[in-house]
């Protein structure tokens, strides 16, 4: 180093900062590009969220964990809701009065009451019956129940949209009622329900923010804590809004891609 000249590390610092910003922007674009392919929306969201942290748009400490927990709650509740919706739709299609009335009551309550009330029932009321759930378990269970109710109606209407002659052909082949449902009726119904269910997942992502009310450390909880600590609610809420917006936008791209793909192969 020459006398009076700048330190070599100081010369490299602007270059290093420029390199980090360029890398972060590349990651952000890569994350958005991944969402164009079905099945990569969650990966694209994780990459994009990390890029936002590098760019300083969202805070580093704890925020990535909150985003990861939000995605975990979404994935867990979504899978359970799909299974529950399929079971409810199947029970309602059996033609027997008892399961039809029971399922109709379950679905009606799930669709007709606020999700926040259902969260409180799972977290505060069930312990009085001896079933104690952690905040995370109660949040996932309530979301899964609520969206099972909505999803079952989508699957049921999709089952009714399956052409009658297709089912008659399966019956003519000698398939039992359960076998027809398993190999013909349900797969075709899922095909019809794919896009509406994708839109339901987008709504599910946004409703995961309610789990912070019962103490789950998702993005909303961390935003509230950081906002109170730094007296900067505006910055934190805008940051959370950006992340939710990106997740929803990636899922919208995925749903649009799925819809276009299905339209190329009509029945």
Provide the residue ranges of all domains of the chain, joining segments of one domain with +: 60-264
Q: Is the model more confident about 186 or about 21?
A: 186
Look at residue 18 in the predicted model and tell me its pLDDT. 67
Virtual CA dihedral for 172, 175, 177, 178, nearest 10 degrees? -160
| pLDDT of 80 strictly over 60 | yes
| pLDDT of 17 strictly over 70 | no
Residue 35: CB atoms within 10 Å: 25
pLDDT classification of 264: cutoffs 50, 70, 90: confident
Q: Is the model more confident about 235 or about 193?
A: 193
Look at residue 230 in the predicted model and tell me its pLDDT. 76
Look at residue 207 in the predicted model and tell me its pLDDT. 96
Give the fold, CATH level 3, of 60-264.
MetI-like fold (1.10.3720)
- Range 188-208 burial, b when 16+ CB lie within 10 A, else e: bbeebbbbbbbebbbebbebb
| pLDDT of 182 strictly over 60 | yes
Which percentage of the chain shows pLDDT scores above 90? 36
Q: Is the model more confident about 180 or about 118?
A: 118
> What is the pTM (predicted TM-score) of this model?
0.74
């Amino acid at each position: 180093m020459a006398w009076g000249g700048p330190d070599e590390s100081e010369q490299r610092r602007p270059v290093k900062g420029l390199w980090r910003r360029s890398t972060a922007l590349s990651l952000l674009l890569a994350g958005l590009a991944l969402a164009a392919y079905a099945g990569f929306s969650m990966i694209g969201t994780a990459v994009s969220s990390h890029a936002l942290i590098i760019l300083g748009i969202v805070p580093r400490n704890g925020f990535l964990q909150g985003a990861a927990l939000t995605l975990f709650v979404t994935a867990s509740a979504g899978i359970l809701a799909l299974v529950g919706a399929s079971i409810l739709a199947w029970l309602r299609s059996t033609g027997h009065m008892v399961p039809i009335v029971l399922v109709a009551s379950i679905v009606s309550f799930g669709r007709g009451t606020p999700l926040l009330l259902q969260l409180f029932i799972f977290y505060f009321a069930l312990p009085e019956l001896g079933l104690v759930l952690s905040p995370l378990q109660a949040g996932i269970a309530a979301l899964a129940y609520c969206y099972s109710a909505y999803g079952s109606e989508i699957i049921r209407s999709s089952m009714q949209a399956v052409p009658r002659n297709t089912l008659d052909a399966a019956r003519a082949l000698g398939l039992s009622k359960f076998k027809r449902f398993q190999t013909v009726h349900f797969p075709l119904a899922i095909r019809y329900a794919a896009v509406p269910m994708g839109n339901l997942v987008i709504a599910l992502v946004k409703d995961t923010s309610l789990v912070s009310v019962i103490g789950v450390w998702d993005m909303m909880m961390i935003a509230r804590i950081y906002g109170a600590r730094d007296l900067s609610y505006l910055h934190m809420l805008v940051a959370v809004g950006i992340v939710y917006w990106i997740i929803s936008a990636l899922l919208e791209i995925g749903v649009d891609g799925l819809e276009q793909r299905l339209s190329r192969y009509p029945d």
